[in-house]
Structure 1
Amino acid sequence: MTFQLDENSPIFLQIKEQLEDSIINGTVKPGERIPSTNEFAKHYQINPATAAKGINELVDEGILVKRRGVGMFVTEDAETILVRKRKQTFYDHYVVPLKREARKLYISQDELLEMIKREDAES
């Protein structure tokens, strides 16, 4: 599990999002052990506390579970939880503003759906 860290967002969020992406796309499976905070810290040359912050957020969300003395593992419900969370984020960040702008421009829901369908046909 290797990716490039960038300077545009906090490192702990990048680690968290990369783990989330790996779970959603099936690279990391339910029940699979993820790298420890020390492994992340050594690999990316970061403070272990930084890696722990991202991983602990995933534990708090029910994505990962700690097994004392063994490591961190992906929960069986991780993908379902993440997809639900990402759908809500998609709705909040894309659909709501899209509909708001459409109302300003007097675009009806039918016209908006037609525009979306047209984009699908052109792709």
Structure 2
Amino acid sequence: MSQLKDDGKPLFVQIKELIEDQIVKGQLNEGDQAPSTNQLVQFYKINHVTVAKGVNQLVDAGILYKQRGVGMFVAEGAKETLMKQRKEDFMDLYVMKIVEEADKIGLSEEELITLIKQARRNM
């Protein structure tokens, strides 16, 4: 498991995003057992209520499901749901702002695409 960051996000959001990232990256697949709240509490040394809040948001969103007495598991279609949401968020948070700024400074669509390709090569 990766470490939590001191980036201003609440810890329960970081826990939620950590599990989401594992699903998106294929580290957790449909039907796989997700880390238990006790495991997360022990690993990150944070309050059980905080961990439960992040995990319960994933359950409420249908990303995880609980099997009483056994644990939590990745729901069918979870990766597709997360990918769809992340693509929508990416559009809203980044692409629209880039396009707006490109319009302000007079970049053509072709110039913008060239800059994006150049940025990818430089990664």
- The question of a shared fold, defined as TM-score above 0.5 by the shorter chain, is answered with yes
Output the amino acid matched with 2:47: N
**Residue in 2 aligned with 1:98?**
98
2:20 matched to 1:37?
no
Q: Secondary structure at the match of 1:114?
A: helix
Report how many residues are paired: 122
TM-superposition CA deviations, 1:21-54 (whole Å, max 9, x none): 1111111111011122122112211111100111
Question: Equivalents in 2 of 1:122, 1:70: separation in Å?
Answer: 46
Rate the CA distance shift 1:14–1:120 in 2: closer, same or farther, 3 A. closer
Output the amino acid matched with 1:105: I
| Structure 1: segments with no counterpart, 5+ residues | none
Question: Equivalents in 2 of 1:46, 1:121: separation in Å?
Answer: 39
Q: Secondary structure at the match of 2:73?
A: strand
Q: Secondary structure at the match of 1:34?
A: coil
TM-superposition CA deviations, 1:69-117 (whole Å, max 9, x none): 2111001101101111111111111100001101111222233223334
**Residue in 1 aligned with 2:2?**
3
Q: Secondary structure at the match of 1:32?
A: coil
Q: Secondary structure at the match of 2:107?
A: coil
Question: Equivalents in 2 of 1:112, 1:31: separation in Å?
Answer: 41
The 5 A counterparts of 1:41-60 are: 41-60=41-60
State percent identity of aligned pairs: 46
Question: Equivalents in 2 of 1:14, 1:67: separation in Å?
Answer: 23
| Structure 2: segments with no counterpart, 5+ residues | none
* TM-score of the pair, normalised by structure 2: 0.88
Output the amino acid matched with 2:99: K
Question: Equivalents in 2 of 1:55, 1:122: separation in Å?
Answer: 36
Question: Equivalents in 2 of 1:26, 1:41: separation in Å?
Answer: 23
Question: Equivalents in 2 of 1:42, 1:57: separation in Å?
Answer: 20
How much is the aligned-residue C-alpha RMSD, in angstroms? 1.7
